[in-house]
Structures are given as C-alpha cells and as structure tokens.
C-alpha cells in the first residue's frame, strides 16, 4: 500500500512551479484512455458469449526530466505507473510499474538503467495503430512486446539518419538453471534509419524473458518499415521467434516443448481533417515440439482491425474500432473467433 501511494505523495509534496520547470527540472505527465467494448466470443463453435466491458487501456501517470550536470551532459530520470481508470485495481495493486529508469545523456548518446521496453519492442515505432486496445494490440499474435526488468541500455546519437541501441537484461539469479546470468546472456539490440518520411528498423532479442505466448526466454528477429507521404502512413512488421537457450540447455523429457513462430502485421492510416481512418491486418503461425521431436501443437491466428479517430483538441480524441480475431488449432481441427467493437476517449496531460 505504501508503494501504491508513493507517486501521489511525491506529487502532493512538490509545489506546482517545481513540477512544471523548477528545481527538479521535470514534469508530471500522463494520459487517460478508456473504452466501452462489446465482445462476442465463439469458443470453437461450441458456445458463444456476448458481454460489455469498460477497459482502461494502459492509462498512466509519470514523472520525468533531466538536469544539466555540465555543458552538454545531463542526468535523466523517469518513473511511470499504470493506473486503472475502470476499477482502480490491477492484480491487487493501485499502481503498476511501466518504464522506470535513471541515466545520463549527452553528445556520446544515452545510457540508462532500470525497467524499460526492450529495443525490439520499441523498433515497431507506430506500426501498431491499435496499441493497448483490447483485441487490437499486436501482442495478441506477435511475441516480443516486452517490458524487461534489470536492464542497462545504450543508444548512440543519430548519425546520418542511423541510430543503434544495445540493451542487456540481467538475470540476477545464479541459482536457477533457466535464467541467463552473464552480462550479455540476455540482450535486445537494434539499428534503425529514418529520413524524409521513411523509417527502417532491424532488431533482435536473444534469450529475453518475454512471457509471450506463455513461453520464456525467446530469440526474436524483427524487421520494420514505415513510410509517410502527405496524409497517408503505411507500415509493416515481420518477425520470427523461437525458444532461447534455456530450452536446449534444460530439456529433461518429452514434456518440454520447443517453440517456433512466424508472424507479421501491415497497417495504414489516413488523416482527413480531424479524422484519422485506420486499417490493420496481421497473421501468426505457431508450432511446438517436445524433446522427442513430436509436434504437440500447431495453430494459426488471423486478426483484422478497423478504426477511426476524431480529434477534439490537441491532446484529446474520441474513437471507435472494430476487431476480429480467429485462432485455428490445426491438431484439434477447431476454430475460436472473437469480435470486438469499442467506443473510447483518450486525453493526454
């Protein structure tokens, strides 16, 4: 409970002038994103459930800033917490950690340590047009949307449109055979290029404990491209994922499953006045085999999202979206389908 009220206690203790630009050289920021969603779930053709939910879509409050230490050298910090606008609770907590770090930035680039989105996750930029929305976010069918703990990250300055990042993820548990405990046993790295509306990104997770698709320590390669011209923005992301070293090092019997995934997403957004029209489509193929080489699961997922945003102000919008997802279990020969329709509002502050 003390941890839960800490951010508000800090905010209350500081004068408003300090929060804006005073001695702490920082600010309070955040957003509220809430949606009323109708979900129709057809479970393998045997049953259908229809319900309405109120969702808080990664609503947050944070504190961030930088302090000049000497000419061209700054200390930086960030402490961001997710808040639940719908019911005030997430896994029994009022606040849950998002990106939290401290570090230095200057002409040499930026280095920080803490808890943060991986380089591979950040490489997607804004290809995912329905990020954080129930049934819209690409994490429904793509691994790698990971926020890792105990990271040390270095990002180079941008040179000729190019930039590179390397993030090591420290295991902190030498007694466990499944953890990657060396300095670079688990890492996320990437290189990107951006100029004249074009963005290209290549990223790699090696033995990163993602928890995606109920698997740990994945190796993932991700390729991203976006291009903006006039009012139209196009995006594409493709990736391949497999079980990391912990699988081959710790297989004991035929119940231990390896994992392979091939997935992609394409998106398009078109701005017309205060409206932004959005279209997104993605697919994933997944296979698991046990230590004996027998296939234990094989499935495919297909996702389609349509949406429109209407801008009420510089930091406020209302929106509507439609999402349809199908999961085909190839071994069981069954199909699950879920359809969602949502109406929401987002306000940043």
What's the pLDDT tens digit per position in 90-124?
A: 878 889 999 999 999 999 999 999 999 999 999 99
User: What's the pLDDT tens digit per position in 9-39?
Assistant: 544 544 444 444 445 688 999 999 999 999 9
253 vs 32, higher pLDDT: 32
15 vs 153, higher pLDDT: 153
pLDDT at position 137? 94
Burial class (CB in 10 A: 0-12, 13-18, 19+), 79: buried
85 vs 249, higher pLDDT: 85
User: pLDDT category, 3, cuts 50, 70, 90?
Assistant: very low
User: What's the pLDDT tens digit per position in 32-88?
Assistant: 999 999 999 887 656 667 899 999 999 999 999 999 999 999 999 999 999 999 988
Our CA angle for 202, 286, 238, nearest 5°, is 20
Fold of 2-348: Porin (2.40.160)
Count CA within 13 A, CB hemisphere, residue 152.
8
- For the segment 235-242, the average pLDDT, to the nearest whole number, is 97
User: pLDDT category, 258, cuts 50, 70, 90?
Assistant: confident
Closest listed residue to residue 305, CA positions, set 325, 285, 319: 325
Residue 65 tokens read as: 């800033």
- For the segment 185-193, the average pLDDT, to the nearest whole number, is 95
């Amino acid at each position: 409970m003390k941890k839960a009220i800490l951010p508000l206690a800090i905010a209350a203790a500081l004068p408003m002038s300090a929060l804006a630009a005073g001695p702490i050289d920082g600010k309070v920021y955040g957003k509220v994103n809430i949606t009323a969603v109708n979900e129709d779930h057809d479970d393998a053709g045997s049953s259908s459930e229809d319900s309405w939910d109120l969702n808080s879509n990664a609503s947050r409050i944070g504190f961030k800033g930088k302090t000049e230490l000497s000419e061209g050298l700054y200390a930086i910090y960030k402490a961001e917490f997710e808040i639940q606008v719908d019911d005030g609770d997430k896994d029994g907590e009022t606040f849950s950690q998002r990106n939290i770090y401290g570090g230095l930035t200057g002409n040499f680039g930026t280095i920080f340590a803490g808890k943060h989105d991986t380089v591979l996750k950040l490489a997607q930029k804004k290809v995912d047009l329905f990020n954080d929305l129930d049934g819209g976010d690409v994490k429904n069918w793509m691994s790698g949307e990971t926020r890792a703990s105990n990271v040390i990250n270095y990002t180079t300055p941008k040179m000729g449109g190019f930039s590179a990042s390397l993030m090591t993820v420290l295991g902190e548990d030498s007694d466990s055979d499944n953890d990657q405990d060396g300095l670079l046993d688990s890492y996320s790295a990437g290189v990107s290029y951006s100029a004249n509306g074009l963005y290209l990104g290549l990223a790699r997770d090696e033995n990163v404990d993602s928890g995606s698709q109920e698997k740990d320590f994945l190796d993932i390669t991700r390729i991203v491209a976006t291009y903006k011209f006039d009012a139209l923005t196009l995006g594409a992301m493709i990736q391949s994922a497999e079980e990391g070293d912990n699988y081959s090092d710790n297989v004991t019997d035929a119940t231990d499953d390896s994992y392979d995934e091939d997935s992609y997403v394409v998106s398009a957004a078109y701005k017309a006045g205060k409206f932004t029209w959005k279209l997104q489509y993605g697919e994933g193929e997944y296979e698991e085999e046990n230590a004996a080489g027998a296939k234990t699961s094989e499935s495919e997922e297909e996702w389609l999202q349509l949406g429109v945003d209407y801008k009420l102000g510089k930091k406020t919008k209302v929106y509507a979206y439609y999402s349809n997802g199908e999961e085909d279990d190839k071994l069981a020969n069954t199909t699950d389908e879920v359809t969602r329709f949502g109406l929401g509002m987002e306000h940043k502050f």
